[in-house]
Amino acid sequence: MLGHCDLCPRNCGADRLLGKSGAVCGTGRQAEVSTAFAHFGEERVLVGQGGSGTIFFTGCSLGCVFCQNYTISHGHDGHALTDEQLADAMLYLQARGVHNINLVTPSHVVPQILAAVSIAAGRGLRLPLVYNTSAYEKVETLRLLDGVVDIYMPDFKVWDPELAARWLRARDYPVFARAAIREMFRQVGVLRVEEGIARRGLLVRHLVMPGNLGDSRRIFEFLAELSPDTYVSIMDQYMPMGRAMMFPELARRTTADEISQAFDLARSAGLHRFDRSESACK
């Protein structure tokens, strides 16, 4: 797949085995990692007492104008790692006492992840793997991870193709996101939590965007159709970052009232498992 790259919906065809960079992700043969650390700012069912063992990959197949990690996702602020070094990072985090290995923006480096996990598992890696993604994924790539990834954590951003084109630079994002989340659910089912820590299943994030509760409603209805027991993280932290100030509709933070309405819409759709309560988001 790396020889004529079709890992993500961009299907750019770059020969990454020869070191050519993907047309959008900008990544070549080796995975590039910005940081690897015990993260205590993730969802509560991932963090627990020991934190989530987060590995931030550089590069991204989307072009979100409001990206909060622009220097990582598009500035490639990181270092190329061999598969063995990536395995070392996973084992290092396990030794720190984290509850999981949290792979952030991983879709363009799935082959490297699979190689590293194979090495790390042979050396004692035993933690759940979290696939932390924008949901701009191909089902064919996700099927390579069936039986490997324990927890899928997609962020279903927008429902409207026009907004996806304007804000994410990917008009087809909603179609791919829906198909990807269905495949993730097929593989792992609803989220199973034991003693406050997620062990296996689907956890869906939704960043509430200013003035876009219509998309939130459609997304919540879709998730409830998968299962009313879908575990959802309704996120309130949108702020104008990256190039967001160039888009008038994105030039403000979401309000407390919008967050409250988002929770009402989720409950009206039939959802009831939330990572944080409405009051915790205010």
Query: Residue 282 pLDDT > 70, yes or no?
Result: no
* H/E run at residue 181: helix 173-188
193-252 pLDDT tens trace: 999 999 999 999 999 999 999 999 999 999 999 999 999 999 999 999 989 999 999 999
Instruction: For residue 94, report the phi and psi dihedrals to the nearest 5 degrees.
Output: -60, -40
- This prediction's pTM: 0.96
Please name the residues in contact with 79: beta carbons below 8 A apart, sequence gap of 6 or more.
32, 33
What's the whole-number mean pLDDT along residues 157-178?
A: 98
Fold of 33-281: TIM Barrel (3.20.20)
Domain boundary assignment for the chain: 33-281
Residue 222 · residue 182 · CB < 8 Å = no
Which of 183, 180, 157, 181 lies closest to 63, judged by CA?
Answer: 157
Report residue 279's pLDDT band, with 50, 70 and 90 as the boundaries: low
DSSP assignment of 82-134 equals -HHHHHHHHHHHHHTT-S-EEEES-GGGHHHHHHHHHHHHHTT--SPEEEEE-
DSSP assignment of 234-274 equals EE------TTGGGSGGGSSPPPHHHHHHHHHHHHHHT--EE
Number of DSSP helices (H) and strands (E) in the chain, helices first: 9, 10
At 280 the pLDDT is 66
At 281 the pLDDT is 67
What's the whole-number mean pLDDT along residues 43-62?
A: 97
Residue-averaged pLDDT of the chain? 96
What's the whole-number mean pLDDT along residues 8-19?
A: 96
Please name the residues in contact with 121: beta carbons below 8 A apart, sequence gap of 6 or more.
none
At 91 the pLDDT is 98
Q: Which residue has the tokens 């907004």?
A: 163
Percent with pLDDT over 90 in the chain: 93
C-alpha to C-alpha distance for 241 and 124, rounded to whole angstroms: 40
Decide the pairing of beta strands 52-57 and 101-104: parallel
